[in-house]
Amino acid sequence: MEILVEVKGLRDETSLAILRETYEYPHSEEYLSRKLDVPLSSCRKKIKTLLSLGLLGEEMRVYNVKGECISFYRSKVRPQ
């Protein structure tokens, strides 16, 4: 994990927590925001960074009753 911490975008605990939370099961932005107690906008920014680094992937998309698309993300790396 020490090597990953050096990667830009992983210098904070929130990014690492997102990778830990999404390793076994995919989760939505809203779930991660609530679970990690961070603002949704911050969570989205961290997810975007992790996606661009290839450390997180979009597992699936579902539509809620309002017709809104909800993406679920899963870690591509095994956190320690």
CB 56: neighbour CB atoms within 10 A? 23
β pairing state of 56-63 and 69-75: antiparallel
Write down the pLDDT at residue 11. Answer: 74
Within-domain flag for 10: yes
The reported pTM is 0.83
The arithmetic mean of pLDDT across residues 14-40, rounded, is: 96
Reading the block at residue 29, the tokens are 């932005």
User: What's the CATH number where 52 sits?
Assistant: 1.10.10.10
- The answer to the question of residue 80 being in a domain is no
Which pair of structure tokens corresponds to residue 33? Answer: 């925001």
If one counts the domains in the chain, the total is 1
Does residue 8 carry a pLDDT above 80?
Answer: no
DSSP 47-74: HHHHHHTTSEEEEEEEE-TT--EEEEEE
54: in domain: yes
CA distance 30 to 78: 22
Residue 26's domain spans which residues?
A: 2-75
For residue range 31-76, list pLDDT tens digits in order.
999 999 999 999 999 999 999 999 999 999 999 999 999 999 999 9
